[in-house]
Amino acid sequence: MSIDKDFLPFTRPSIDERTIGEVSDVLRSGWITTGPKCQQLEAALSARFGGRPVRLLNSGTAALELALRLCNIGPGDEVITTPLSWVATANVVLAVGATPVFVDVDRSTRNIDLARVEAAITPRTRAVIPVDLAGLPVDRDRLAALASKHGLRVIEDAAQAFGSRWDGREIGSFGDLVSFSFHANKNITTSEGGCLVVNNDEEALRLERLRLQGVERLPGGELEVEAWGAKANLTDVAAAIGLGQLRQVQDFTAARRALAERYYARWDASLEFELPPRQAAPAEGNWHMFQPLLPERLAGRRSDFIAAMREQGIGVGVHYPAMHLFSLFREHGWRRGDFPIAEDIGERILTLPLFPAMQPSDVDRVCQAVGAAVCALR
């Protein structure tokens, strides 16, 4: 398949030649599965998060599911989360046999509305999974107070929030259990992968067993398995990519912030889009995505808009439709109208190009293409 060099995707990973060389070294080493590179990356992430234990996994989805299992959440339990996220956020709740309970989002942040969470808590509620949409952090102070009041675990779906901060503290350096994704479209990548930040060595040891078939290695080379485990370990090939990404993440974040500011400066307000929330203390996002909402008059024509942008060589994503409207969740009783804010955002949201290798002129090109696409749909 040929690749159009002039096509601007909505995201593209930045992997430098040094990292490519380090991956080659791993491939030549003869040790390509979980090994010394994974240990190095876990140590580097732990240092970044103030010494908290970190364990690598083969996806952010696995990190969420194993976090639920660490909390012993299963059949009969309820977990509160947002309908405006990648479907994995709720799928993992189903995977452990628990019930996802959706709460609508706050229009100003597009994150779960913590003012509505308390009304959704029942005697069966065991945990809350907040999502930092586009890397903008949920109010961590209010979240912690709510969880403490009701005795709930918090499993942060910070898949999109690597490098984001709340009140000056980096996401992952505080809180309960914190899950990150290192998928190819995230701010740092291991191609596929993720990690879970836990609270202590005991949880870290349990997680090690959960991620690899429940195996406990005994002295003398013997093995024991006392409980179920997944197959969710990361490879050293992936970890080598992650180590290279970690060296560059500060520059990546600075580039994303500059590009986001360029979008605000160059955007034509007369087009009547709703731009993503401007970030202000104490929330400091990483600009994982730049997501305007289509004008209401074009709400039913998103696919036409995306096609018109593609004709101009611009890639546009959709992150995310409101997941309670998927057939899987409608079979569990959710219906249109249950969460009107998430539904409205989910039907109009667009993800425009934003990645570190972009140039300011690329932002200008996107803004011009948006105007042309709107004109074509009138």
Residues with a catalytic annotation lie at 186
Burial zone of 173 (CB within 10 Å; 0-12 exposed, 13-18 middle, 19+ buried): middle
Rounded Cα–Cα distance for residues 288 and 181 (Å): 12
Rounded Cα–Cα distance for residues 33 and 238 (Å): 9
Q: How many CB atoms lie within 10 A of CB 24?
A: 12
Rounded Cα–Cα distance for residues 170 and 280 (Å): 15
Tell whether the torsion through CA atoms of 277, 278, 281 and 284 is positive or negative: positive
Whole-Å CA distances, 304 to 164, 191, 311, 365? 33, 31, 11, 19
**Contact yes or no for 60/181 (Cβ under 8 A):** yes
Rounded Cα–Cα distance for residues 181 and 93 (Å): 17
- Beta strand extents in 260-363 (DSSP E only): 283-284
**Contact yes or no for 312/376 (Cβ under 8 A):** no
Phi, psi of 251 (to 5 degrees): -70, -40
Please state whether beta strands 54-57 and 194-197 pair in parallel, antiparallel, or not at all (unpaired). Answer: antiparallel
Rounded Cα–Cα distance for residues 330 and 333 (Å): 5
Rounded Cα–Cα distance for residues 262 and 14 (Å): 20
Rounded Cα–Cα distance for residues 128 and 137 (Å): 15
Rounded Cα–Cα distance for residues 356 and 363 (Å): 12
Rounded Cα–Cα distance for residues 313 and 324 (Å): 32
Whole-Å CA distances, 44 to 51, 68, 243, 247, 362? 9, 25, 8, 10, 33
